[in-house]
Structure 1
Amino acid sequence: MEIKDDTLLAQRRAGVLLHITSLPNEDGPGDMGKEAYNFVDFLHNAGIKVWQTLPLGVPHGDGSPYQCLSAHAGNPALISLDQLKEKGWLQEAEQYDECRSEDTYNRDCLIAKAYTGFENLASLEEKQEFLSFCSDKASWLDDYSLFVALRTEFSQQCWNQWPDHFKERKPAAIKEARKILASIIEVIQFEQFIFYRQWMALKEYANSKSVLLFGDIPIFVSYDSADVWANRKVFKLDKSGEMEVVAGVPPDYFSATGQRWGNPHYNWKYLQRTGFSWWNDRMRSQLEMFDILRIDHFRGFEAAWEIPANEDTAINGQWVVAPGKALLAALEKELGNIPLIAEDLGIITEEVNALRTAFNLPGMKILQFAFGDTDSNPYLPHNYDQNCVVYTGTHDNDTTLGWFNSLNDHDKQRIYQYLGFSQASMPYLLIGTAFSSVANLAIVPMQDILELGSEDRMNIPGTVEGNWKWQFSWDQLTDGQVSKLTGLVKMFTR
């Protein structure tokens, strides 16, 4: 049984991993403005055919794109304000003193101003596009926009701290809230309209340059999200809506105490009874936005680590079986062939491998994990088959240069022995190894292309401070790096 589009995942391609926020921007995190288009041009000129991002959802205060307020909504921080100015819907920010706090501008305030500009200046066709968007996305947009409006009303508290009639979604209270907060809700819906409009324009441009967009789906959703608030039956919650068990992973390579993510687990019995409709809707949203998708923590489709909610670490959990085969079959029936990649890192059992191979899904190979003391290591290139995706490292790893510099001389010697004592230095030695492998898709983080060290890594798993903030600048990219990258793409027919 297959669930992927062979025309996409069976061809040799090279890709770059870079989140939108990591694009250059003098005024803050990267966005979907001109630098996103410049980056597509860079990829196209280098022969790179895939741009992988992290999830595009609305993060909480820690900035993690893996803990979001919605499984469907896009992050408004990625909206290009310059494009709104070009449309004439937003004046120069300096004209909005009420949106200013010291030396920065409140983006939510500016987008509200842009909505006023849209109402006054948009064409009838554009206004109809907005109405159609709200109608087409109503299945999630109605709940999300009300959720965000209420969350703002209640000082960003988690929904389980709201007054009972809102927490429990009492019909009369919900109806009244929609009425009272109507103007705020409209701005939130406009925000999502602009996000999708800008993203789809970027996707169209990337595709016109033969660049595919590769997205990431966190298997779990945040407890503090519109999804859980509006769909409590989908999740394992008690009668008052609290979590009895939370998600995470047991102790592993990244952490001696495991990782306690704190997400709610799925009520798989309910999902099966409803034909997995919640997952069908989620996957449909992402397929609209991306050409290729990755399921983060794919092994959770076979069995997930359930941790008692009162535990501070992930040590005292247990594996609980999930109906992955039924879910993937339901997705295939509903959506047809899906170009889906399984993140199969960590503790992977024969059952997880069987589930992945039953649907012919490519798994992941991380070269930084390859050079242990055994030649049977599955991450060594001689153990690959074509149906996989090889990475030098991911957003959760150190940069390749940082990783290599942290090794002792014995380990460095073993790596050079395997790689043939090449004249190439790190990280391009490992990039070349990825590109030369039989893996159909080879992905390299932008930090490795720029030859950056540990101080430029994106995330340190198990920590909450200082992550997700890395950005590059074009002056870090040298002609020599572009030449080496382009040469490797051509040499290994990617």
Structure 2
Amino acid sequence: MRPRREGPCMRFDRRSGVLLHPTALPGPHGIGDLGAGARSFLEFLDRGDQSVWQVCPLGPTVDVHGHSPYQTYSGFAGNPLLVDLRALADRGYLTDDEVDPSGAPDPGFSPHETNYDAVEAFTTDRLRTAFDRFRESAGDDEREAFAAYREAEDDWLVDYALFRALKREFDGDPWTEWPAPVRTRDRDALAEYREKLADEIDFRAFCQWTFDRQWTDLRAAAADRGVEILGDLPIYVALDSADVWAAPEAFDLTDDGRPAAVAGVPPNPGDDGQRWGNPVYDWAHLAETGYSWWLDRLERLFSLVDYARLDHFKGFDEFWAIPADSDDPVDGEWREGPGRDFFETVREAFGELPFVAEDLGFLDAESAALREAFDVPGMRVPHYADWCQQGHLYQPMHYPEDCVAYTSTHDTDTAVGYYESLGDRQRECLHYNLGTDGVEIEWDLIEAVWNSEATLAVTTMQDLLGLDSHARFNTPGTAEGNWRWRVTEAGLDDDAAERLARLTDATVR
């Protein structure tokens, strides 16, 4: 039986924080990691008097999806590309030369953006070297700690490590294309491959152990500075994931293990809808099991973060299911989600619900009632405001207390980029409403959000630095050039932190 999680819901005393995914941290190896750059960011938050660090999902990303943190090989595992290689050198598993990026042939590393191909090759090679050294030279304490970790995380780690080993064995093919006995999890076939791929399975477990203990250390360092982690929980998981392969009964699949329906959103005025391609859940089966798969997922999540944003909250009320053989979102239909029964089950297992509901664009009465029934705040972003309409719900001066307010998000343009894209009339109305000339629009929007009634105010590193669209983190509906932007050590400057601290002291505390 799961221990009941005690703690507050998201209606805490007013607080503020910064959204910055770990891949965007400073670091020497072409990507942000859990090492010195992360500590520098915690120092920045401390100087800025911030108490929340918001991150995107932490799972192992997939190259065919542009390394989006919302399309991962697992909803339980961590991303090995975030491992701090210098910490492995400190443990004696790598040499100083091996963690020196200048020693790699054309590593393609930049302090300003992530080249995932270069990072993946460099980091994975060194993780394999570190694992070999661990097996050769680790002391008894280290070996016992690794064994204890594997036992503690057995519920998800066994299947995940085998899944990644099989992916390598079958040249990266999606599991839906694997030989039938493995695809359908024939017991004898899996036993055979567990023996054949034992070294690779051990390596994948080692990567997760390394990620977990580095993340645990980082989270403790954050807590020492009074900073809590707001994580992110995508409602759906990727089809080509250990999640779907290991628990097909949780999803709406055909007899041969392929999706019967996939997720998306219906057409709206001005767009054609979206077909995301993720398998939808078999909520009836999940309800029969007491939502055990979801409770396991949440238990793992709350071992990593303090709170979580629920992506696509609408899907818990009702979801758009598109036949898998159709490429047109218009062919979908609304199906009933798990609703109150699901959240009552979660509350019984974990106590108060430490969630934020991503309800942007889905402010219908049913979803709002579900959110409000469990004291889950929604989201507000000024990018969606009609500045010329009096009292518009996305204007910061009209934000309610039960929301989390953002200057921008990982899916929107930066504050400066948004402002530059406005038409003349909207820009003039914005000037009037905020009492500004727009010269420092990023700080105008930060101040407006910080002055709102929202229970939590969040900005991004890009907005604190006044960066334009070139620093946008993700453009939904595009496959190239996303999730690459990084802040440099110089970008974590005292001026922005001190200005944010003064604003926070005047408005939030």
Q: TM-score, normalised by structure 2?
A: 0.92
* 303, 308, 318: which one aligns with 2:333: 318
1:191 aligns with 2:195: no
Residue 491 of structure 1: how far off its partner (Å): 1.1
- 8 Å CA contact 1:232, 1:241 repeated in 2: yes
1:420 aligns with 2:435: yes
Instruction: Please give the alpha-carbon distance, in whole angstroms, between the structure 2 residues aligned to 1:235 and 1:168.
Output: 14
- 8 Å CA contact 1:388, 1:441 repeated in 2: yes
Partner of 1:60: 62
1:325-381, CA deviations, whole angstroms, 9 ceiling, x for partnerless residues?
111111111122231111111233111001000101011011111234422422223
1:90 aligns with 2:94: yes
* 168, 172, 176: which one aligns with 2:188: 172
1:20 aligns with 2:28: no
Relative to structure 1, is the Cα distance of residues 252 and 49 closer, same or farther in structure 2, using a 3 angstrom cutoff? Answer: farther
Matches within 5 A, 1:96-175: 103=107, 106-175=122-191
1:482 aligns with 2:497: yes
Name the amino acid aligned to 1:72. Answer: F
Relative to structure 1, is the Cα distance of residues 19 and 78 closer, same or farther in structure 2, using a 3 angstrom cutoff? Answer: same
Partner of 2:356: 341
Instruction: Please give the alpha-carbon distance, in whole angstroms, between the structure 1 residues aligned to 2:43 and 2:275.
Output: 40
Relative to structure 1, is the Cα distance of residues 83 and 313 closer, same or farther in structure 2, using a 3 angstrom cutoff? Answer: farther
* 231, 237, 240: which one aligns with 1:221: 237
* 31, 34, 54: which one aligns with 2:33: 31
- 8 Å CA contact 1:59, 1:65 repeated in 2: yes
1:233 aligns with 2:253: no
Residue 131 of structure 1: how far off its partner (Å): 0.7
Relative to structure 1, is the Cα distance of residues 168 and 408 closer, same or farther in structure 2, using a 3 angstrom cutoff? Answer: same
Instruction: Please give the alpha-carbon distance, in whole angstroms, between the structure 2 residues aligned to 1:250 and 1:335.
Output: 33
Partner of 2:287: 272
Secondary structure in 2 aligned to 1:191?
helix
Partner of 1:41: 43
Partner of 2:278: 263
1:446 aligns with 2:457: no
1:263-315, CA deviations, whole angstroms, 9 ceiling, x for partnerless residues?
00000010000000000000000101101111100110001111122232423
Partner of 2:227: 211
Residue 225 of structure 1: how far off its partner (Å): 0.3
Partner of 1:459: 474
1:366 aligns with 2:381: yes
Instruction: Please give the alpha-carbon distance, in whole angstroms, between the structure 1 residues aligned to 2:152 and 2:488.
Output: 38
- 8 Å CA contact 1:55, 1:217 repeated in 2: yes
Structure 1 residue runs of 5 or longer lacking an equivalent are none
Structure 2 residue runs of 5 or longer lacking an equivalent are 108-117
Q: TM-score, normalised by structure 1?
A: 0.95
Partner of 2:111: none
Partner of 2:113: none
Instruction: Note the aligned Cα RMSD (angstroms).
Output: 2.1
- 8 Å CA contact 2:10, 2:375 repeated in 1: no
- Equivalenced residue count is 490
Partner of 2:84: 80
- 8 Å CA contact 2:312, 2:359 repeated in 1: yes
Name the amino acid aligned to 2:198. Answer: A
Residue 46 of structure 1: how far off its partner (Å): 0.9
Partner of 1:283: 298
Residue 474 of structure 1: how far off its partner (Å): 2.8
- 8 Å CA contact 1:4, 1:340 repeated in 2: no
Instruction: Please give the alpha-carbon distance, in whole angstroms, between the structure 2 residues aligned to 1:313 and 1:23.
Output: 38
Residue 96 of structure 1: how far off its partner (Å): 11
- 8 Å CA contact 1:4, 1:339 repeated in 2: no
